[in-house]
Amino acid sequence: MRVGFVSRYPPVHCGIAEYTKMLSSAMRSLNPRTDVVVLSTNEFKNEQYNDDVANVYPCYSRFERDYSKLLETLKDLGSVDVLHVQHEYGIYGSNRELIDALLQAKEEGLARAVGITMHTVDHPHSPRADVTLKFQSWLNELDFIIVHSPLQEFELHIQEVNPSKVYRIPHGTLINPYLCKTREELCRSLGIECDLEGVILTVPGFLRRDKGIDTLIESLRLLSDLKFTLLIAGEPKDEEIVNIIETSEFKTVLIERYLSSDEILRVVALADAIILPYKDRKAYSVSGILHLSMGSLKPIIGTRVPRLVEFYQHAPRLTVPPNDPIALANKIRWLVNNYDYALAYMTEVYSYAARTQWLRMASRHIDTYLNLLK
């Protein structure tokens, strides 16, 4: 089988890029004869490049309005069995041209089936709903639409996207291979001093306002009697958030750079607990950081927001409302004082992590493709 992904790809700093690489790698692990080509943005370079997983062909810009070069590249490469977009509004926008390019590829015999993974599904209260709901109505013209959560699936049903074309395949999970490493080895591999004290509370991922780090800092001020180290790791997207972290009055270690999925696994392997104090983004998506965290078999505290709906389904007692520092502080205190119980309570989450390992999710993608190609 030959699969063409339309997606960002590493080394571009993006969760979708990491997702596409992990999915491609798992598909090739299941069947090394699977040929994966990635038709990517030109944000890294304009020339073709490759790694041990895929051949990457940059052929369009972010927020592109003309996909003629993508179609020309696909003609030069030869046809694919499946042409599959990894869509995010922050990369491809909500323009009709992307849908038309997929339909043209199928019409010209460059792909036997065309479809899209909607990493974010907007609803009527989303800030950009006036344009994104129209884009989502066009999804009916494709052969398949993949989403990650029930919220996304049923929102598309409500918007009259054909249910028979919608497939829910959860985000893949990596079981952390670094759990056997010592604290010293992990710190050294990350380039940080190994002077972590007390309970290590970790927040991994991009440093943005919607990650709720300001709420976490406020909550920790209510826990001055606890001994802890706050380990925050990720590429800054908001200088105000960095300033809040740097001026906090307690023990904080900040890794202020982009981290690959492999590096994030090392960060969460260092943790005693992972804190995900996210705020609502007024859209339906899921958190890749959550899946990296679940695979690390550590207690997690999260907020009740759509991005963490899977966590809420499997561990509701470890969730709190967003933007509530008092509730978050109380939950952190409870976790520290009842750590063994929290570990035991997370059993269902660990089971879900095992059920959503990348090889299993890649297998579901392949099964979907094969059914479409019959």
Predicted pLDDT of residue 176: 95
Question: How confident is the model over 256-272, as pLDDT tens digits?
Answer: 999 999 999 999 999 99
The fold of the 183-355 domain, in CATH, is Rossmann fold (3.40.50)
Residues of the chain with CATH 3.40.50.2000: 2-172+357-373, 183-355
The fold of the 2-172+357-373 domain, in CATH, is Rossmann fold (3.40.50)
Predicted pLDDT of residue 25: 97
What residues in the chain have per-residue pLDDT under 70?
Answer: none
Predicted pLDDT of residue 61: 97
Predicted pLDDT of residue 268: 96
Give the Cβ contact number of residue 78 at 10 Å: 10
Predicted pLDDT of residue 351: 96
Question: How confident is the model over 298-317, as pLDDT tens digits?
Answer: 999 999 999 999 999 999 99
Residue with tokens 């004082």: 337
Give phi and psi for 295, each to the nearest 5: -75, -5
DSSP at 45: -
Task: Report whether the peptide linkage leading into residue 204 is cis, meaning its omega lies within 30 degrees of zero.
Answer: no
Task: Please tell me the pTM assigned to this model.
Answer: 0.95
Q: Are 31 and 61 a contacting pair, CB within 8 Å?
A: no
Predicted pLDDT of residue 330: 98
